[in-house]
Structure 1
Amino acid sequence: MSESAGNPGSTRRQRTRTELMAAMRALIEEHGFRAVSMGAVAEKAGVSRRTAYLHFASRNEMISALFDYVTEQEGLAESLQPVWQAPDAVTALDEWARHLARYHPRVLAVDRALDSVRRIDETVAQHREQVSGDQQQAGHRLAQRLHQENRLAPPWTVTTASDMIWALMSSDVIERLIVEREWPPAHFAEHLAALFRATFVTDPLPDEGTSLGSAARTG
């Protein structure tokens, strides 16, 4: 017997918590971050304000929980899996472009709403800082792998390449091309991957044995 089947109260609590998260996300996407309050979220979810406080002690706690809810609902871990399991650095870069096209448009509305208040809301500012740090780490991981496989094109260094990869994750890029210019996500992924390859990737240098062998054959 599963835990949820043996504990229906726990199942109901989890369902209510999920409904509160869904309601909060809907409020943000429809009316912006400033529309969020414990009462507004409870009303949107169809529960009492008291019920909302049974799940979250404060508005800030509810906001913090939203971040994990959105990434789980939209499958961030699953979307990143092909990137980090790619057999080589260049394929990883291609998969990174597909990840950006696949995942980021789905969270764009929430991202824009949070960005609009990050300078005046400490909880949001902390979240944005954490997200930015995670993105910079991902960019560094991609650039470092290119370097380790001798595929990082000059004049890029691991630091400058990771900075540029991070900058190209900007929601502005996603919004302008996919939303405003109406690029299909697959079209965006294809062209972004081409940009990445043309910018960051060089042909691998031949090893010493290959160079000597070639010189002997042509000398």
Structure 2
Amino acid sequence: MEPQNARSRRTGAALLQAARELIEADGFEGLTMQAVAERAGVSRRGVYLHFSSRTDLVTALYRDLGRTEEVAASLQAVWDSPDGRAALTEWAAHIARSHPRILAIMAAVDHARRSDADAAELWETAQSRWLMGCTRLMRWLADEDSLAECWTVETAADMMWALMSPDLLTRLLSGRGWSRQEVADHLGTLFRATFLRQEQTP
């Protein structure tokens, strides 16, 4: 007989997968506790045993995306770089390899956030974390005296954050047919030319 905690973990994973599939298929508007229950083959009561509210479910889904799509491991490669310049190039690679995996979710959340409080909260959480990462990276460059003189840490972080827009990736990958490697290579070139002191730009 399967242990109760193992069954609970399996059910929780099924609910998160169902939530993701609903968002990708029907947009954030399609994410209801009833729809998640039906898709996962769980009673509505069973959903509430794992997640006390839709907000709780959405928060757990966001955290799960980082685990299942290995976003955290990809990001760690940035912070493991030997210096800020290498980290800047690795940041471009991180965006190219990780963000396409969550584009459908982020697009759905972006669309719904103006009228849906849960979507708005999820969007703000994601964006604040992206901005924190950008700020950490630009502070690293500044500490090494590698940040171009036209930038402050704050303005450079703001610009990098803006360049991480899901719309940019959608346009390049879907609209123009770029590969992820092309995105990584050209974003890396753009980032180095934009944010590094001129004498450090190849």
Instruction: Give the alignment's TM-score, normalised by structure 2.
Output: 0.93
In the alignment, the residues of structure 2 paired with residue 146 and residue 59 of structure 1 have an alpha-carbon distance, to the nearest angstrom, of: 40
Structure number with larger C-alpha Rg: 1
Q: Give the aligned partner of residue 48 of structure 2.
A: 53
Q: In terms of mean alpha carbon deviation, does 148-157 or 168-177 score higher? A: 148-157
Structure 1 residue 50 displacement after superposition: 2.3
**Equivalent in the alignment of 1:88:** 83
Q: Within 5 Å, which residues of 2 pair with 1:17-56?
A: 17-56=12-51
Report if aligned partners of 2:28, 2:119 keep a CA contact under 8 Å in 1: no
**Any stretches of 5+ residues in structure 1 without a counterpart?**
205-219
User: Is contact 2:54–2:118 with CA below 8 Å preserved after alignment?
Assistant: no
- Distance between the aligned counterparts of 2:52 and 2:135, measured in 1? 37
Amino acid at match of 1:125: A
For structure 2, which runs of at least 5 residues remain unmatched after alignment? none
- The Cα RMSD (Å) is 1.5
Distance (Å, rounded) in 1 between the aligned partners of 2:129 and 2:112: 20
**What residue number does 1:208 align with?**
none
Matched residue count? 199
1:1-219 correspondence to structure 2 within 5 Å: 8-202=3-197, 203=199
Equivalence for 1:213? none
Identity of aligned residues (%): 46
In the alignment, is the contact (CA less than 8 A) between 2:18 and 2:40 conserved in 1?
A: yes
Give 1:52's aligned amino acid.
Answer: V
Contact 2:22 2:36 in 1 (8 A): yes
Tell me the TM-score normalized by structure 1: 0.86
Measured against aligned partners, the alpha-carbon deviations of 1:50-107 in whole angstroms (never above 9, x if no partner) come to: 2222222222222222111112111121010110011011100000000000110000
| d(CA) in 1 for partners of 2:59, 2:155 | 32
